Structure 1
Amino acid sequence: MSKIKVGVIGCGSIAKHRHLPEYANNNKVEIVAVCDINEERVNEFAELYNAKAYTSYEELLRVSDIDAVSVCTPNYLHAPISIAALQAGKHVLCEKPMATSQVEAENMIKAAKENNKKLMIAHNQRFVPSHQKARQLIENGEVGKIYSFRTAFGHGGPERWSADGADSWFFRKEEAFIGAMGDLGVHKTDLLRFILGEEFVEVGAFIETSAKANADVDDTAVCVLKSESGIIGTLAASWSYQKEDNSTIIYGEKAILRIEDDPTNSLVVQYKTGEIVKYELGGIQTNESGGQTNTQVIDQFVTSIVEDIEPVISGEEGMKSLQVVLAALESNETKRITSL
């Protein structure tokens, strides 16, 4: 079979550290095009990956033999570019959060269906070994009834890792739409839905800007979530943690699961009996670790195209994770619990 020809739109840090190297490592793919409004940046990646450089995504989408694109732009462009790409007959892998509104997300899903193309959202936390194992233990009944959880995703902020540093689009509301809650919180809403295997029905949230003087978006958010079966817990997302925290703790009837909470053991299971089981499953990808391991996102996307199957994280899945974030924003504004 001939290789899938791919274009990457947006050559910032996520493209540099994840999308481009992972496409390059996949033997079913050929990177043929890269696009960024920063000419110097796009030329550098074009040379590195032996691809054609574009400064206009519209021009890239007119190239008929490009099969699929990654959308790695600022958040406000995710939906418009994804929709344009789907309408141009390309499969789309879109970075998270998939859109800035429910309507945009629905329009992306509709465009994928109408054009019979794959739409996948790049939520990578589901593929982390400790998260997969935790879901398995819950499904197998090892943990018993789940009572509660707490999850956090925080680090020092995008200036440490964004291609534009302190001048990053992440801090500008008109481009980012939402701050830490969209950058990190949506990863965790997706992860919790995956691990618990159920949807959230109510959200209460406090969303603040307290750490970043240069930001007009939130940098710290704490939410209380309730699932359909009545599991309640907290989710924190922040750009104000001096050391990265990406931990999740699940409190069940028979055991407590401590995920990515111990520096050595990515999963520690504390059974009610007193028994403790530790799993060293290999770490989670962090922005600080430098040596990125494969997130599996690209490989999963490519597989969905090659085997013509529904992507693991479809547009619908991405939308459900986004809905929790949108509900949190609404709760913060109205100072009430929002129902989903």
Structure 2
Amino acid sequence: MKILVVGANNFGQKHLSGIKGMEISIVERKPEVIEKTVEKFKIENVYSSFEDAIKDRFEIVDLVVPHYLHKEMAIKAMEAGSNVLVEKPIATTLDDGEAMIRASKDYGVKFMVTDQYFFDPSVRAAVKFIRENRIGRINTIIVRDQRFFEHGGWRTDKDQMGGGALIDGGIHFLDTLLNFGGNYESIHGKSIHGGSILNGEDNTAALFKFENGTYGLFFYSWSYRNPPELPAFEIIGEKGSIYEDVKSRTSWEVGTPVRTVYGDLIVNGENANVKKYDVYTAEIMEFADSVKNNTEVPFPPELALRDLKAVLDIYKL
């Protein structure tokens, strides 16, 4: 199977390190990035132009590009007959996301958003335990992440991002919250600019009310200097609790054998002994299996659209 990775720098390196047993080509213009990528990975071809690259036949095109390019590039790849992976968010607007889903059906190709948080073993196990009623009726879910953004690049540009911190990193944590809580009926909250170099917002606090009566507390910040180490999620039920053990998180560095998003899962005070695996390999290779076997993709794009809707609902407040 042949895969084309568009954008080999930064997160592109993590995608490349998750690919197993495929012929890999890349689209990249920066000489220093090309050099390190060819040295580190077995690269079949290097293209400087996306349009030239998709003239060749690739079973999978993996787009690791700024948010505002997702729709245009994804649909071009679909027109060329490729199955498409795109980094989160699915797009910057619901209309664009819906157009991408329609195009995948029209052209008869698979389409999925790569969100490693959805594939995290602790998240999958927590969802299973909730469905098994392990801690009884859920009353409160807390999901949070706080850090300080000091980087440059396109993420500082509100137009390229489609917003600020929430649509970029925060959407991961909204996915986790919604996977635990289900459909929501209302949101109260606000996104503000709290002091980073972003053009867009960098601080969000929100209260979700879910259709099942559960409440969700959400906090996400790129303007939090010297943040404390806190569990990224806590699920509080009438018979017990589930939360993340922050001390057991793994490194995301390329070369780390098993990379997870969250730490171990603590259920009713005890380690749940969830089997760990590499989330970057899981998201790409499970998608490749769906292409090979003509089965449903593991992370339906409709769920990625759900996550984007939550972001945009908060932005409206």
Write the distance in 2 (CA, Å) between the matches of 1:79 and 1:91: 14
Distance 1:200 1:117 in 2: 30
| Aligned equivalent of 2:6 | 9
Contact 1:154–1:246 under 8 Å retained in 2: no
Query: Which 5+ residue runs of structure 1 have no aligned equivalent?
Result: 160-165, 271-275, 285-291, 332-340
* Mapping of residues 292-307 of structure 1, within 5 Å: 294-307=280-293
Contact 1:184–1:238 (CA under 8 A) maintained in structure 2: no
Q: Which residue of 1 aligns with 2:58?
A: 66
Residues in 2 aligned to 1:97 and 1:249: alpha-carbon distance in whole angstroms = 24
Equivalence map 1:87-166=2 (5 Å): 87-157=79-149, 159=150, 166=151
TM norm structure 2: 0.87
Instruction: After TM superposition, give the deviation of residue 127 of structure 1 in Å.
Output: 2.2
Aligned residues: 301
> Which residue does 2:208 correspond to in 1?
225
Go from structure 1 to structure 2 and tell me whether the alpha carbon gap of 1:219 and 1:120 turns closer, same or farther (over 3 Å shift). Answer: same
Tell me the equivalent position of 1:269.
Answer: 267
For 1:20, the equivalent position in structure 2 comes to: 16
Shift of 1:233: 1.4
Q: Tell me the residue number matched to 2:309.
A: 323
Aligned to 1:55: 48
Is the CA contact 2:5–2:27 (under 8 Å) kept in the aligned structure 1?
Answer: yes
CA shift at 1:44, angstroms? 4.1
Residue matched to 1:257 = 242
Q: Partner of 1:325: helix, strand, or coil?
A: helix
TM-superposed CA distance for 1:6, in Å, is: 0.4
CA distance in 1 between counterparts of 2:304 and 2:279 reads 23
CA distance in 1, matches of 2:243, 2:202: 25
SS at match of 2:130: helix
Q: After TM superposition, what 4+ stretches of structure 1 lie above 6 angstroms from structure 2?
A: none
Within 2, Cα distance between the matches of 1:204 and 1:46? 48
1:263 deviation in Å? 4.3
Label 1:228 to 1:239 Cα distance change in 2 as closer, same or farther (>3 A): same
Q: With structure 1 as the length reference, what TM-score do the two structures score?
A: 0.82
Query: Which residue matches 2:272?
Result: 279
Distance (Å, rounded) in 1 between the aligned partners of 2:52 and 2:231: 39
Q: Where does residue 179 of structure 2 map in the other structure?
A: 194
Distance 1:238 1:300 in 2: 31
Q: Comparing 40-49 with 138-147, which one deviates more in the overlay?
A: 40-49
Partner Cα separation in structure 1 for residue 231 and residue 48 of structure 2? 35
Counterparts of 1:210 and 1:249, CA distance in 2: 25
Query: Which whole-Å CA distance do the structure 2 matches of 1:301 and 1:114 have between them?
Result: 19
1:192-224 CA distances to partner (integer Å, 9 max, x unpaired)? 22233x212222221122231x32011111121
How big is the shift at 1:66? Answer: 1.3
Q: Distance in 1 between matches of 2:230 and 2:159?
A: 28
State percent identity of aligned pairs.
Answer: 26
Q: Hey, what's the Cα distance between the residues in 2 that align with 1:246 and 1:89?
A: 43
